[in-house]
Structure 1
Amino acid sequence: MKLSGKNIVVFIVLAGAVALAYYLPCLRYNFYQQMMDGLMLDDAQIGLIGSLVNVINTVCYPIGGVLANKFRTKTLIVITLAAFLILSVWYAFAQGFVMLLIIHLLFAFFGIATLWSAYLSAVRGLADERNQSKMFGWNEGTRGLIQFAISLAFVALMGIALNAAQGFTYSMLFAAGVCAVFLVLAIVFMDGKPKVDEQDAAEKADEEPVEKYTVVDVLKNPGVWVVTFLIMCAYVFWTMGNSYLSQYTVDVLGLDPGTASTIGTVRTYLIVAIAGLIGGVLLDKFPYKGRTFIVLLAIDIVLIVGVMITGEQLMLCVALTICISFIANIMKTTYWSTMGEAGIPAAMTPLATGIISFICFMPDWVYPVVFGNWLTDARAADGGVAGAAVAGVYQNIFLIIIAFGVLGMVVSFIHWKRAQKLEAAGVIEIDHHGKK
């Protein structure tokens, strides 16, 4: 697979657009304390914003599919980046919870409805079928590096600002500048929808008709439910960990918010690129992915327990949070690869992934509001600061994550045994790398 000339720029624009879409509405992951101080938000308000953003994301997935079928890819990418530019400037000077909520919801709408399906189509058009995994993997890694660079810039700008509010103004104006750069590149270098060349058209004409599946077929497939709950449990480690590990180091460990944000940036964005590359190789080395997920979930459970009992050892505890993120990102970048061994036919993938995504990401609707209210009440009980009550809330959050991990191990075991059964029946083939 080779990218050259204009396609390299298009590749970077696509990665940049999605990097912005999943970064700007999610600043709570690494700048939680700064949002509280600079934007005058409390835990409950930040939690509500997070939950509503996730709801809008889910609702907009089917909308994005319709728009991607009706409009040129370039048109949708340009609209998205233009919207991000306007919203970033608005965010820089926004005041009040309601205005900030509206801005976040608009970020969520444009990030999914006008971007996500168009992005997937465009990335797929940059490579042939033999190189799809590599293309998406490289784009995921590039996205993580772009987010890492933007986040470091945010940390630096907040560091030189006179206060948190001014830091957010500087940071969002910088984000607007980044949006403007990608917008210009998209206008200049992007074409319309990727066109199918004559060779691809000939190959598709020779293919046998693909079996059609209905929603009922998907719901009746046991593998769909196994994969749904496997992904849900693995995703919980990633999303809850990213949401609260940074703030835990501030509230309970006493780490400086700026330092915590820097560590959170490394944990959230740089590690994902490394974990994606390692995870792809790792999962391919073992014949049963369910068995590998049992090991990964067990490791993360042990690491979470380590965080809970090493609160007085600052550097050790911080190191454990980074390790948690590394393992969680290995799972996150590979869990969609479990569909084949679960017995989900390739032709069922479009419907199956839609249903799986709708269900498995449901914790995102609930936990930010619930945990945010818990923390707000705990701070009030501690007299407005982070004390014993706040520390207790974090312990409960970690216990919930552990519970999902245990459930995930059970589901992974079911996935493993289902794969063995399907293999024995000749339904699927699994590469044992010369070993049985």
Structure 2
Amino acid sequence: MNSKLRKYLTIIALGLAGGSIYFLPYVKYVFYDAQISTMGITNTQSGLMLTMYTIGNMILYIPGGIIADKVSPKKALVVSLLSTTALAYIYAFSMNFAVAMVIWLGLSFSTAFVFWSSLMKAIRIIGTEEEQGFMYGLYYACNGITGALTNTLALNIYKTAGDNVSSGFVRAVISGGSVAAVAAILLIFLMKDDKKEAVAVDDGEPKFQLSDLGKLLKMPVVWVVAFTIFCGYGYYTSTSYFNPFLTEVIGVSPESSGLISIIRNYLLLLLAPVGGILADKVFKSTCKWLMTAFIILAALFGIVMILPSDISPMAASLYTLIPGAFAMMMYGVVFSTVSEAGIPRMMTGTTIGIASIIGYLPDSIYSVIFGKWMDKHGAAGYNYIFTFLMITGVIGAVLAFTIYRLGKKNREQAI
């Protein structure tokens, strides 16, 4: 197979892997009522399952990153995907809360332990240093499409059971969980042979040692990368608050807001490669593109607060797609800062493990803070949220500039 074609097909397969493996951990986002009804659990118990998963992730990111730097990315990804499918099948035929708690802990091993760091490392390996932005952007575009298609498939399978909610949910879990197995099979055939891969990965560098963890933790640029990812992911996840904003403040119908939300959260990920092209071809630097994107996003969220009170619901809805688009173009390349930071390839997995612990904190922090503002201030709470996001943009731009300077210094010292 042509090497260039194989490269892009592999990225697509990785997008399928990343977009499908998280179907089960976050299944309640689409099948909330069906899951509670089928399992016979409370809302609190539903939350505890996700809490178990989140705690497992936080504990496993760093050790998983270390192992990802020592094993074949291909083996790590395939085993993780097949394990996730197996857990989905076990869950489908048990639907017991105690068993589910163990399964959700198991999902932290199969989806976050070595999978995430190996996935990000595989993307870096496939592309050259000059096309990192585009590779990560293309991955996230494929990831978004897969996430939408996996949930759509599961939803359509769910409907085949008619009024039998329990049967429909079981079918949805089996069908959605099976997509990860399909991704595993594709990677078996598309990813390079382990020995050849090892040559591509190491590129003459020494193997990662456990003692290198201490070196990474002492490197300022690693922490700057982590908090840059925090700001980038914070924007990515916070665009979901446009959904209640449109219904509660602007007066958009829930159906219309939901449709706009699907476009904003899934289809706009198709713009991720555009962000990669801008980073690689226009700005010649991921960090320079991030600096620009963060400032633009800060301004766009500021404009939301001064929209005319008599603006039409359609105009307001369409406007929210603009910051949504920039958030997707920016987040799609944020992990490629690891390359520009001048961090050796052999340390990529561990660096991503460290950065992910901080980078994905918005999932647990923002929801609590924003929720309190909305509960306390009502519609005015959105002004607090958007002001917070404006400040985040300024901080993110400063952090991206810092990575650019530190990375340049690291590369000069290496030479």
Which category describes the TM-score, using the shorter chain as reference length? 0.7 to 0.9
| Aligned pairs for 1:326-341 within 5 A | 326-337=325-336
For each residue in 1:60-87, what CA deviation from the matched residue of structure 2 results, as whole angstroms up to 9, or x when unmatched? 2233334445655454334323322233
1:6 is displaced (CA, Å) by: 7.0
- Residue 269 of structure 2 corresponds to 272
CA distance in structure 2 between the aligned counterparts of 1:290 and 1:357, rounded to whole angstroms = 18
1:54 is displaced (CA, Å) by: 3.2
CA distance in structure 2 between the aligned counterparts of 1:340 and 1:190, rounded to whole angstroms = 21
User: Could you tell me whether the CA contact under 8 Å between 1:72 and 1:192 is conserved in 2?
Assistant: no
- Residue 380 of structure 1 corresponds to none
User: Could you tell me whether the CA contact under 8 Å between 1:310 and 1:316 is conserved in 2?
Assistant: no
CA distance in structure 2 between the aligned counterparts of 1:408 and 1:416, rounded to whole angstroms = 12
Q: TM-score, normalised by structure 1?
A: 0.69
User: Could you tell me whether the CA contact under 8 Å between 1:58 and 1:358 is conserved in 2?
Assistant: yes
User: Could you tell me whether the CA contact under 8 Å between 1:92 and 1:169 is conserved in 2?
Assistant: yes
- Residue 399 of structure 1 corresponds to 384
Q: TM-score, normalised by structure 2?
A: 0.72
Asked whether 1:168 is paired with 2:169, we answer: yes
CA distance in structure 1 between the aligned counterparts of 2:166 and 2:365, rounded to whole angstroms = 28
Structure 2 unaligned blocks of 5 or more: none
CA distance in structure 2 between the aligned counterparts of 1:39 and 1:260, rounded to whole angstroms = 29
Q: 1:83 to 1:230 in 2, by over 3 A?
A: closer
Asked whether 1:281 is paired with 2:266, we answer: no
The residue matched to 2:194 in structure 1 has which SS?
coil
- Find the partner of 1:412 among 397, 402, 410: 397
- Residue 342 of structure 2 corresponds to 345
Q: 1:22 to 1:214 in 2, by over 3 A?
A: same
Q: 1:5 to 1:336 in 2, by over 3 A?
A: closer
User: Could you tell me whether the CA contact under 8 Å between 2:275 and 2:333 is conserved in 1?
Assistant: yes
* Higher mean displacement: 143-152 or 349-358: 349-358
CA distance in structure 2 between the aligned counterparts of 1:150 and 1:95, rounded to whole angstroms = 21
User: Could you tell me whether the CA contact under 8 Å between 2:38 and 2:95 is conserved in 1?
Assistant: no
Q: 1:165 to 1:266 in 2, by over 3 A?
A: farther
For each residue in 1:398-418, what CA deviation from the matched residue of structure 2 results, as whole angstroms up to 9, or x when unmatched? 624531431431452475489
CA distance in structure 2 between the aligned counterparts of 1:260 and 1:43, rounded to whole angstroms = 24
| Aligned pairs for 1:379-398 within 5 A | 392=377, 396=381
1:278 is displaced (CA, Å) by: 2.1
The residue matched to 1:24 in structure 2 has which SS?
coil
| Aligned pairs for 1:369-388 within 5 A | none
CA distance in structure 1 between the aligned counterparts of 2:335 and 2:97, rounded to whole angstroms = 36
1:43 is displaced (CA, Å) by: 6.2
- Find the partner of 1:237 among 235, 238, 247: 235
Bigger Rg, which one: 1
CA distance in structure 2 between the aligned counterparts of 1:345 and 1:142, rounded to whole angstroms = 27
1:332 is displaced (CA, Å) by: 1.0
Q: 1:168 to 1:190 in 2, by over 3 A?
A: same
User: Could you tell me whether the CA contact under 8 Å between 1:300 and 1:328 is conserved in 2?
Assistant: no
- Residue 358 of structure 2 corresponds to 359
**Matching residue's letter, 1:240:** S
Asked whether 1:56 is paired with 2:56, we answer: yes
1:368 is displaced (CA, Å) by: 4.7
**Matching residue's letter, 2:264:** R
- Residue 110 of structure 1 corresponds to 110
Q: 1:305 to 1:267 in 2, by over 3 A?
A: same
CA distance in structure 1 between the aligned counterparts of 2:259 and 2:19, rounded to whole angstroms = 18
**Matching residue's letter, 1:329:** M
- Residue 433 of structure 1 corresponds to none
Q: 1:277 to 1:310 in 2, by over 3 A?
A: farther
- Residue 378 of structure 1 corresponds to none
Structure 1 unaligned blocks of 5 or more: 376-388, 430-436
Q: 1:261 to 1:123 in 2, by over 3 A?
A: same
CA distance in structure 1 between the aligned counterparts of 2:108 and 2:100, rounded to whole angstroms = 12
- Residue 432 of structure 1 corresponds to none
CA distance in structure 1 between the aligned counterparts of 2:25 and 2:67, rounded to whole angstroms = 22
- Residue 14 of structure 1 corresponds to 14
CA RMSD after TM alignment: 4.8
User: Could you tell me whether the CA contact under 8 Å between 1:32 and 1:247 is conserved in 2?
Assistant: no
Q: 1:216 to 1:302 in 2, by over 3 A?
A: same
